[in-house]
Amino acid sequence: MNQIPEKIPNDIKKLFIKINDYLDTDIYFYGSAIRSDYIPNKSDIDTAIFTDNEYSTIGKLQHLLHVKRSEFKKLVWKLNGEMIYGYKIKLSGYTSEVEIAIYNDNFKNLLLDELKAPLKQPLICTILLYILKLFYYHLNIISKENYVKIKRYIQNDLNGKVSLFLIL
């Protein structure tokens, strides 16, 4: 999860090598970039960085990436009854959109378990995601809004139902 996936474009690999060298920290890849439903030059690249000082890491990324502080958006979500806080920046201008989330080290174990969960999804969910991406990215026959809704349904609702069915 913290190695740069081979399948991502070279310009993005170079970006993450530069970030990794500058911050001297692990970068964790998640989402389709590490799953089999990745679509080259279409799927975004999702990453997480864990640090003991989010503000310092944001400052370093601002300097390295030449971006404004206002481009980092605050994240707040609830996971297993715990409130998780962090910051996220979306970078365009690369072969694919890049998303970098910055979290405090205190959330690392909890978040890594959550980010790894889709790697354990049933094969049927992976196939459905791939078909959905084909319809959205290549055939352009569904809207972004519907794509997001269906993707969430497959990853959250259907994934759990299929897993339960397989257990029974």
What's the pLDDT score for residue 120?
Answer: 66
Structural domains counted in the chain: 2
Residue 42 DSSP class: T
The helix/strand/coil state of 166 is: helix
113 shares its domain with 128:
no
Q: What is the pTM of this model?
A: 0.76
Residue 107 DSSP class: G
Alpha-carbon gap, residue 152 to 25, rounded angstroms: 30
For 62-82, what is each residue's pLDDT tens digit? 999 999 999 999 999 888 888
104 shares its domain with 163:
no
Average pLDDT, the chain: 86
128 shares its domain with 76:
no
Query: Within its chain, how far is the Cα of 65 from the centroid?
Result: 19
Range of the domain at 91: 10-118
Q: Which of 11-15, 17-21, 149-153, 161-165 has the lowest mean pLDDT?
A: 161-165
CATH of the domain at 15: 3.30.460.10
Q: Which of 17-26, 27-36, 97-106 has the lowest mean pLDDT?
A: 27-36
Segment 55-63 mean pLDDT: 96
100 shares its domain with 142:
no
Structural domain contains residue 126: yes
102 shares its domain with 76:
yes
87 sits in which H/E element: strand 82-91
Query: Within its chain, how far is the Cα of 8 from the centroid?
Result: 13
25 shares its domain with 44:
yes
Structural domain contains residue 130: yes
Structural domain contains residue 32: yes
- Asked whether the predicted pLDDT for residue 88 surpasses 80, the reply is yes
Alpha-carbon gap, residue 133 to 124, rounded angstroms: 14
48 shares its domain with 28:
yes
Structural domain contains residue 4: no
The helix/strand/coil state of 33 is: helix
Structural domain contains residue 3: no
Q: Is 39 exposed, middle or buried (0-12, 13-18, 19+ CB in 10 A)?
A: middle
Question: In DSSP terms, which residues pair with 51 in a beta bridge?
Answer: 104
What's the pLDDT score for residue 138?
Answer: 82
